Every structure is written in structure tokens, then in C-alpha cells.
Amino acid sequence: MTTTRFAPSPTGYIHVGNLRTALMNYLIARKAGGTFILRIDDTDPNRSEEKYVDAIKQDMEWLGLHWDRVERQSERLDQYAEAADKLRDIGRFYEAFETPVELDLKRKKQLNMGKPPVYDRAALDLSDAEKDTLRAERGNGVWRFKLDRERIEWNDGVLGNISIDAASVSDPVLIRGDGQVLYTIASVVDDTEMGVTNVVRGSDHVTNTATQIQIIKALGGTPPEFAHHSLLTGPQGEALSKRLGTLALRDLREQGVQPMALLSMMARLGSSDPIELRSEMAELIEGFDINRFGSAPTKFDVQDLFPLTGRYLQSLPLEKVQSEIDALGVPADKQAAFWDVVKENITTLADLEGWWALCRDGAEPLIADENKDFVAQAMTLLPEGPYDTDTWKTWTTAVKETTGRKGKGLFMPLRHAVTGLERGPDMSALMALMQVVRARG
């Protein structure tokens, strides 16, 4: 059975980059009728916070990314210890005692000599007595996985056939000096034991994948299918991480972005399928194919989310936005007409307020100099309210007859004078909602 997972660490809020990964995994599971696991990667008690666990769940629920299982790595420490024992038993695990400072120095030295900064495996030569001494002096060492120095190959769902020479990679540290297990081992143990069949993640994990494949095999498991999607950059191609602050899901929600707009974009951006607004998750699931994604970095502009949001809102019936419209104080008998009139002129629900203010209070007229006399004359022909759906037609007809103007020259100045805006909803419908026309005096 197809099983995928999204494994965020609760050290911050979910942002667009995370979301893309989560969504892809979700879509793959759903399309295959499989299982989608939410796995909280909280092995680091110092950096993990419960409030982020809650926030991650909230954000995913907001988007409708429902998980079938939730797991917490902090509750699976025993499993990781078992795997570590196994690696020790088969001789693929060794203790090393270099301090971070020493390692840093080694790396710099290697770099200076034009060599790749790969760990030199000095610890492999330590005798038991030497290890005891070091342990006594420095405390427990770190545990490194001993890589087989050969090329590691796999067929990646996005990258295609790819291979990395293990000799160009350091033996990964899987357990820290303080005993804390690290991402690499926790991830492979979980993926194997939880039956994960497809791993989609950012291309920042490509090198990890090579070492993880060896670890999985050493533990007797079968590597899942891997797919590494490209990373998002900003509109200028700059790394997105620099601006992550503005791209947290909760900020987007705050700005009025609608879930389906966001999902429609993230499920297609970077693929050869056109980005189109979908109003149902089912449509996204059906059309999703990880193989259609390219591997080049993908530019993402938050602004593109707003037109999609606008289009999504337009498609909604009144019931779906009733509470927002209620909150504005729009009288019950005018709500249907109001929504109908303004829905095509909003990008987020926050825009509703401005339109209602216009209907309720009227607007400061916008009158070009050359139209001053014309508008003044027209206003004398505008009857007193309340207005209805015939008002605009009756009024403009009367204005046309007395002034001789027609077409754009007739309508635009009146639109500007009544609404104070260059553009807006259909005027006959809007007029019926106008309670005040300030230009009338």
C-alpha cells in the first residue's frame, strides 16, 4: 500500500516551502488510496515546542490536509536505540571523539589543500584503551555510520537516474555526544518501520538520500521511492529562506489568501501542468503527477496567490460568506444583492468592507475638470433615494436626453462621480444598493 509522510519539526510555523512538500505527499497518498502520516520530528527537546505542534496541525487542517496517522519521534526513542545497536553489531557504527572545533579545523585544512572536506575516519584507528581515555577526558563520543565507499544510485521521481559517490560524503553522525538521535537515523527507522513507500522532499535532501539508502539497507530494509522537488525561490530568484517570515501559512491566511487558491498553486507550480484554480481537493488529487515536475529552482511570487483567491471567492454562494457579510452589518434583505454585486470586484474578503462602506456612506466624487458642468447637471436629474435596480437606467436615459452624451462619455463620468472609483461593479446593480450619493449634494 502506498504510504507517504510529512515530517515537520516543531521548531517554527509551516511556510510555503513546507507546504509544497506536505501537499505533494498528501496528494500521492490520496491518489493511490493510501495512507498519509503526519510525523512530528521532535527528537530535539531543546528546539521543539508544543505550540508549534499545535500550529502545524491547525495550519494543515485549515488547508484540508487531513492525516491518517500522527506519530511523534520523541515517543520512538527505543526504536532508534535498537537500530543503533544493530548497526554496532554489524560493524557499521563507530564512536568518534573529535570536538566540533577540531572537526572545523580539519575541514579548513582539507579545503586549503584543495581536498573535499570529508571526515578522515581517524576514529577508526583508535584502540579500545585510547577510546577509554578519550571518553574519560571528553565524555561520550558521537556515533558515525561507516559508509561503503561506492557509488549510490537511485531513480528519483523528479531527478531521474542519479548517483552520488559515497567517498565524497562524510560518515554521517547519527547519535550525538549527549545521546540525542539525529534526523538521519530517526527518519530511516521510521520510514522503514512505518512502511513508507514514497518519500517526497526538497532537493536539499539529495545528499542525505545517498547515505540513507545505505543505512536502510544495512538495517535490512528496502529503500522507498524517492522524489526530490526543486526548492522555491523568490520572484528574483533569491533564496526564499531570507523572506520566510512573510511566507508562513498563518501570515498568508491573515492576508486573506484562501486555502484552495494556495493549494491550486502549490500543487502545480514547477510542473508542466497549468496553474488553474481548482475548487475541490479531489480535482488536485486526480491531476497530480510528481513526474511532471522539473528540477530547476522554481520562482514563487506571493502576489500570484491573490488573483486565484479572488477567482475562488467569486465562485462561492452567499451562504459561504454569510458570516463575513453579517459582520459588516449589511441588512438581511440586501445581502444577496450585495454579494452578487461585489463578488467580482474583490480579491480577498477584506475588500467587502470597502464596498459596503461605499453603499452605506457614498463616496467622495471623482470628477474631471472637463466634466464638472456635465456632472452637476446630471445630479439635478438624479431623484432622491431610495434607489432600485431601475434607477441607473432611468437616470442615465434622462441625462442622455438632456445632455446628448452617450456611451463611455455618458457612463464613465457618472460612475466616477457616484463611486469615486475608476472601476467597480455593474452600475445598475450597484445603484440599487447606494444609500447615499454624495455628489448629489
Partner RNA sequence: GGCCCGUUCGUCUAUCGGUUAGGACGCCAGGUUUUCAACCUGGAAAGACGAGUUCGAUUCUCGUACGGGCUGCCA
Tell which positions 335-364 bind RNA, by CB under 7 A.
344-345
Compute how many residues bind RNA; rule: CB under 7 A. Answer: 88
**Contact status: 204 vs RNA (CB under 7 A):** yes
Torsion sign across C-alpha atoms 156, 291, 283, 237: positive
Query: For residues 237-266, which are near RNA according to CB under 7 A?
Result: 237-239, 241
Site string for RNA, 122-141 (x = CB under 7 A): -------------------x
Query: For residues 298-337, which are near RNA according to CB under 7 A?
Result: 298-299, 301, 304, 307
Name the one range near RNA by CB under 7 A: 87-95, 213-221, 256-264, 274-282: 274-282
In the complex with RNA, the residue whose CB is nearer, 189 or 427, is 427
Nearest distance, CB of residue 332 and RNA, angstroms: 25
The helix or strand, by DSSP H or E, that contains position 263, with its residue range, turns out to be helix 259-266
Task: Give yes or no for a contact between 5 and 25, defined as CB atoms under 8 angstroms apart.
Answer: yes
Site string for RNA, 365-404 (x = CB under 7 A): ----------------------------x--xx--x----
Name the one range near RNA by CB under 7 A: 107-115, 124-132, 246-254, 372-380: 107-115
CA–CA distance, 319 with 347 (Å, rounded to integer): 18
CA–CA distance, 393 with 415 (Å, rounded to integer): 13
Residue-wise DSSP of 316-364: --HHHHHHHHHHHT--HHHHHHHHHHHGGG-SSGGGHHHHHHHHHH---
**Contact status: 295 vs RNA (CB under 7 A):** yes
CA–CA distance, 181 with 186 (Å, rounded to integer): 7
**Contact status: 162 vs RNA (CB under 7 A):** yes
Residue-wise DSSP of 357-410: HHHHH-------GGGHHHHHHHHHHSPPS---TTHHHHHHHHHHHHH---HHHH
**Contact status: 164 vs RNA (CB under 7 A):** yes
Nearest distance, CB of residue 33 and RNA, angstroms: 27
Binding RNA (rule: CB under 7 A), the pick from 145, 226, 293, 338 is 293
Task: Give yes or no for a contact between 284 and 267, defined as CB atoms under 8 angstroms apart.
Answer: yes
Nearest distance, CB of residue 75 and RNA, angstroms: 15
CA–CA distance, 268 with 24 (Å, rounded to integer): 10
**Contact status: 114 vs RNA (CB under 7 A):** yes
**Contact status: 289 vs RNA (CB under 7 A):** no
In the complex with RNA, the residue whose CB is nearer, 382 or 410, is 410
In the complex with RNA, the residue whose CB is nearer, 113 or 332, is 113
Task: Give yes or no for a contact between 84 and 74, defined as CB atoms under 8 angstroms apart.
Answer: no
**Contact status: 41 vs RNA (CB under 7 A):** yes
Task: Give yes or no for a contact between 422 and 350, defined as CB atoms under 8 angstroms apart.
Answer: no
The helix or strand, by DSSP H or E, that contains position 96, with its residue range, turns out to be strand 93-96
